[in-house]
């Protein structure tokens, strides 16, 4: 038996060391994904881009991201997490800052493609990294804390982005949207060095853990793998590529596709929806956008806590998929009334962001050997939702002049993902050792 008090104590130390670092890194990652949503409020008019051009540019990032995720995760197993995160963060930070020089649609598409290449592997890399440190019964909470960076990005990034657009416009001859990419991109490159210095690849490499603490963590992880062994046998233990032959990998990839559609529909089009409420300046758009993101933060914390508390994943994920984008579509039914729209945006954020508890599922059902490939494949399939949702909605908005049809389609995809979760995904978490 494992001493529960000793386990709790050592994981308090691990939480304090790892969680703040990866959460700040993800705040920067997500900010570099969604700041284009704020920049386009000024950038489209300045450069003469249509909604379709913006939608393709916002989404094309995910195509190159899709192609490079699996190689990045497999390489991470060879060189370790610290070097992987350093490479990723420095290159994507510099590329994001370089977006300030965009002048033509093809340049916009090119820099977004490069951003996807360089950032690929960060998210699945962190999910894999957490599986090296945390047993299955702790992953829901810690995954939720990591992904709490999404709403934190909105709460802080929205007002900051709005302030940069308004306050820096024209400074030294550059537009506000150009300053936005520079001031939000370069800190990512610098923080990549901090991540390299503060993190350890695995528990056995951590100089801040004693020998007895390292042994305890390894015992917890080994016991967890023993408990989940019968669940993952079909993935095989000889090769990481065994995950590619398992239908469950693609089922989970499809469900994550629905999650990604929900999240990126919300994040890429939230500034546009709030601006349509006639709130005033671009700075005001950023300030009001913080409210739904705050609701999303509450959702992530509550749903991930509940999922670990009841050792259940399926219904938690399905419920968030049913309600997240449906609430966003419901904004089209209230006639542009300010407070009903804002309340529905808050409800949408609460459930859309909470679907990230899904990421507590794959490491439990993939063997240790298959985890790197399996997580990367699931993430690669799912992340295409980040291309599909802004591209289709942007095209539909250009053609129809309204977001309504696109939001309805995304709500349908999310509902289908929820049904697949209920029917095809195991709901219980292996019991604590």
3-state secondary structure 262-288: HHHHHHHHHHHHHHCCCCCCHHHHHHH
pLDDT band at 387 (very low <50, low <70, confident <90, very high): confident
pLDDT in tens, 1-14: 778 889 999 999 99
Which region among 30-44, 103-117, 178-192, 398-412 has the lowest average model confidence (pLDDT)?
Answer: 30-44
Above 90 in pLDDT, residue 239? no
Q: Helix %, strand %, coil % for the chain, to 5?
A: 85, 0, 15
Contacts of 300 (CB under 8 A, 6+ apart): 144, 147, 148, 150, 151, 353, 354, 356, 357
Mean pLDDT, rounded, for 233-259: 71
Q: What global pTM score does this model have? A: 0.75
Which region among 40-44, 311-315, 426-430 has the lowest average model confidence (pLDDT)?
Answer: 426-430
Residues paired with 179 in a beta bridge: none
pLDDT at position 341 is 96
Contacts of 419 (CB under 8 A, 6+ apart): 318
Mean pLDDT, rounded, for 214-222: 92
Measured between alpha carbons, how far is residue 75 from residues 68, 71, 79, 197, 369 in Å?
Answer: 11, 6, 6, 20, 14
Sign of the C-alpha dihedral computed for residues 145, 329, 380 and 196 taken in this order: negative
pLDDT in tens, 11-30: 999 999 999 999 899 888 87
Per-chain mean pLDDT for the chain: 87
pLDDT at position 238 is 43
pLDDT band at 237 (very low <50, low <70, confident <90, very high): very low
Measured between alpha carbons, how far is residue 120 from residues 59, 92, 117, 408 in Å?
Answer: 14, 9, 5, 29
Which region among 15-24, 260-269, 363-372 has the lowest average model confidence (pLDDT)?
Answer: 363-372
pLDDT at position 54 is 84
Identify the residue whose tokens are 């995760």.
73
Above 90 in pLDDT, residue 327? yes
pLDDT band at 365 (very low <50, low <70, confident <90, very high): low
Distance CA 260, CA 245 (A): 23
Q: Name the phi and psi angles at 150, rounded to 5.
A: -65, -60
Above 80 in pLDDT, residue 196? yes
The conformational region for residue 2 under phi > 0 = left, psi -120 to 50 = alpha, else beta, is: beta
Distance CA 407, CA 430 (A): 37
pLDDT at position 349 is 95
**Which tops the pLDDT comparison, 140 or 222?**
222
Mean pLDDT, rounded, for 165-192: 94
Confirm if 233 and 52 have CB atoms less than 8 A apart. Answer: no
428 three-class SS: strand
Above 90 in pLDDT, residue 67? no
Above 80 in pLDDT, residue 226? no
104 three-class SS: coil
Q: What is the DSSP letter of 334?
A: T
**Which tops the pLDDT comparison, 87 or 301?**
87
Mean pLDDT, rounded, for 340-349: 96
Mean pLDDT, rounded, for 255-273: 91
**Which tops the pLDDT comparison, 320 or 249?**
320
Above 90 in pLDDT, residue 77? no
Above 70 in pLDDT, residue 313? yes
Above 50 in pLDDT, residue 420? yes
Which region among 123-127, 319-323, 425-429 has the lowest average model confidence (pLDDT)?
Answer: 425-429
Taking each helix axis as running N to C, give the angle between helix 122-133 and helix 211-232, from 0 to 180 degrees, rounded to the nearest 10. Answer: 110
Above 70 in pLDDT, residue 231? no
Structure tokens at 351: 């459930």
Q: How deeply is 75 buried, as exposed, middle or buried, from its count of CB atoms within 10 A (0-12, 13-18, 19+)?
A: middle
**Which tops the pLDDT comparison, 208 or 141?**
208
Above 60 in pLDDT, residue 230? no
Mean pLDDT, rounded, for 396-406: 90
């Amino acid at each position: 038996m494992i001493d529960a008090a000793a386990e709790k104590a050592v994981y308090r130390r691990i939480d304090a060391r790892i969680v703040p670092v990866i959460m700040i890194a993800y705040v920067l990652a997500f900010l570099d994904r969604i700041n284009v949503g704020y920049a386009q409020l000024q950038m489209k008019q300045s450069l003469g881009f249509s909604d379709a051009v913006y939608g393709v540019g916002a989404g094309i990032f995910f195509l190159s991201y899709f192609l490079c995720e699996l190689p990045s995760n497999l390489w991470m197993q060879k060189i370790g997490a610290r070097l992987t995160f350093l490479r990723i963060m420095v290159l994507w930070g510099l590329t994001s800052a370089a977006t300030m020089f965009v002048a033509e649609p093809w340049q916009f598409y090119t820099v977004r493609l490069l951003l996807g290449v360089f950032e690929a592997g960060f998210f699945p890399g962190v999910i894999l990294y957490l599986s090296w440190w945390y047993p299955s019964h702790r992953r829901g909470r810690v995954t939720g804390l990591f992904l709490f960076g999404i709403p934190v990005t909105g709460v802080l990034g929205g007002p900051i982005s709005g302030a940069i657009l308004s306050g820096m416009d024209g400074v030294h001859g550059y537009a506000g949207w150009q300053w936005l990419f520079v001031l939000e991109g370069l800190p990512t490159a610098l923080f990549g060095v901090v991540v390299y210095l503060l993190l350890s690849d695995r528990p056995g490499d951590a100089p801040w853990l004693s020998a007895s603490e390292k042994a305890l963590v390894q015992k917890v992880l080994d016991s967890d793998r023993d408990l989940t062994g019968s669940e993952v046998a079909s993935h095989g233990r000889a090769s990481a590529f065994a995950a590619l032959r398992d239908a469950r990998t693609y089922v989970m990839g499809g469900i994550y596709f629905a999650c990604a559609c929900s999240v990126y529909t919300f994040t890429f089009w939230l500034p546009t929806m709030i601006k349509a409420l006639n709130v005033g300046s671009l700075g005001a758009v950023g300030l009001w956008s913080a409210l739904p993101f705050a609701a999303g933060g509450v959702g992530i914390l509550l749903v991930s806590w509940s999922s670990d508390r009841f050792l259940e994943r399926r219904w938690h994920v399905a419920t968030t998929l049913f309600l997240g984008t449906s609430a966003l579509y419901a904004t089209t039914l209230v006639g542009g009334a300010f407070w009903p729209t804002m309340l529905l945006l808050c409800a949408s954020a609460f459930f859309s962001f909470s679907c990230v508890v899904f990421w507590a599922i794959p490491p439990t059902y993939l063997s240790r050997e298959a985890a790197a490939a399996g997580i990367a494949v699931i993430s690669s399939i799912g992340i295409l939702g980040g291309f599909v949702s802004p591209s289709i909605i942007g095209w539909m908005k250009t053609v129809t002049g309204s977001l309504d049809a696109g939001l309805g389609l995304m709500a349908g995809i999310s509902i289908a993902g929820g049904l697949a979760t209920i029917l095809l995904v195991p709901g219980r978490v292996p019991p604590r050792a």
